[in-house]
Amino acid sequence: MNERFIDASDLEPPEPLQVALQAATALRPGERVRVRLPRQPYPLFGLLAERGFLYESVAVARGEDCVYDVVITRTAPSPS
Protein backbone atom coordinates (compact mmCIF):
# COMPACT_ATOMS: atom_id res chain seq x y z
CA MET A 1 0.00 0.00 0.00
CA ASN A 2 1.44 3.38 -0.98
CA GLU A 3 1.66 5.97 1.75
CA ARG A 4 2.06 9.67 1.16
CA PHE A 5 3.82 11.81 3.80
CA ILE A 6 2.99 15.42 4.66
CA ASP A 7 4.92 17.37 7.29
CA ALA A 8 2.61 19.98 8.81
CA SER A 9 4.49 20.16 12.12
CA ASP A 10 5.79 23.70 11.59
CA LEU A 11 2.45 25.23 10.59
CA GLU A 12 0.40 27.48 12.87
CA PRO A 13 -3.11 26.45 13.99
CA PRO A 14 -5.55 25.80 12.41
CA GLU A 15 -3.45 24.92 9.34
CA PRO A 16 -2.25 21.47 10.52
CA LEU A 17 -5.85 20.32 11.04
CA GLN A 18 -6.90 21.76 7.68
CA VAL A 19 -3.97 20.10 5.89
CA ALA A 20 -4.78 16.74 7.48
CA LEU A 21 -8.48 16.95 6.55
CA GLN A 22 -7.69 17.96 2.97
CA ALA A 23 -5.24 15.09 2.64
CA ALA A 24 -7.78 12.65 4.07
CA THR A 25 -10.60 13.71 1.76
CA ALA A 26 -8.31 13.36 -1.27
CA LEU A 27 -7.69 9.67 -0.50
CA ARG A 28 -9.24 6.90 -2.54
CA PRO A 29 -10.53 3.74 -0.85
CA GLY A 30 -7.62 1.73 0.51
CA GLU A 31 -5.12 4.62 0.31
CA ARG A 32 -3.46 6.23 3.30
CA VAL A 33 -1.50 9.33 4.21
CA ARG A 34 0.88 10.00 7.11
CA VAL A 35 0.59 13.57 8.39
CA ARG A 36 3.17 14.90 10.89
CA LEU A 37 1.54 17.30 13.33
CA PRO A 38 2.94 19.50 16.12
CA ARG A 39 0.62 18.13 18.82
CA GLN A 40 -1.83 15.32 19.47
CA PRO A 41 -4.79 16.35 17.25
CA TYR A 42 -7.77 15.32 19.40
CA PRO A 43 -10.29 17.44 17.41
CA LEU A 44 -9.09 15.79 14.19
CA PHE A 45 -9.82 12.31 15.55
CA GLY A 46 -13.53 13.08 15.96
CA LEU A 47 -13.77 14.61 12.50
CA LEU A 48 -12.06 11.62 10.91
CA ALA A 49 -14.26 9.13 12.75
CA GLU A 50 -17.42 11.00 11.69
CA ARG A 51 -16.29 10.74 8.06
CA GLY A 52 -15.49 7.02 8.28
CA PHE A 53 -11.69 7.21 8.19
CA LEU A 54 -9.40 4.93 10.17
CA TYR A 55 -6.49 6.59 11.94
CA GLU A 56 -3.56 5.85 14.21
CA SER A 57 -1.39 8.38 16.02
CA VAL A 58 2.22 7.76 17.06
CA ALA A 59 4.50 10.11 19.03
CA VAL A 60 7.83 10.75 17.30
CA ALA A 61 10.78 12.19 19.24
CA ARG A 62 12.19 15.43 17.86
CA GLY A 63 14.98 16.69 20.07
CA GLU A 64 13.56 17.20 23.57
CA ASP A 65 10.04 17.54 22.18
CA CYS A 66 7.88 15.27 20.11
CA VAL A 67 5.57 15.53 17.14
CA TYR A 68 2.77 13.18 16.15
CA ASP A 69 2.49 11.12 13.00
CA VAL A 70 -1.14 10.42 12.22
CA VAL A 71 -1.72 7.71 9.64
CA ILE A 72 -5.12 8.19 8.00
CA THR A 73 -6.71 5.47 5.88
CA ARG A 74 -9.83 5.71 3.76
CA THR A 75 -11.69 2.48 4.24
CA ALA A 76 -12.75 0.51 1.20
CA PRO A 77 -16.49 0.54 0.55
CA SER A 78 -18.38 -2.50 1.73
CA PRO A 79 -19.28 -4.97 -1.03
CA SER A 80 -22.96 -4.77 -1.92
CA 77 to chain centre: 19
Q: Which 8-state DSSP code applies to residue 76?
A: P
Q: What is the pTM of this model?
A: 0.90
Domain ranges of the chain: 3-74
CATH topology of domain 3-74: Translation Initiation Factor IF3 (3.30.110)
Peptide bond into 38 cis (omega under 30): no
Encode the chain (80 residues) as per-residue pLDDT tens digits: 679 999 999 999 999 999 999 999 999 998 999 999 999 999 999 999 999 999 999 999 988 999 999 999 998 765 55
Residue 75 confidence (pLDDT): 86
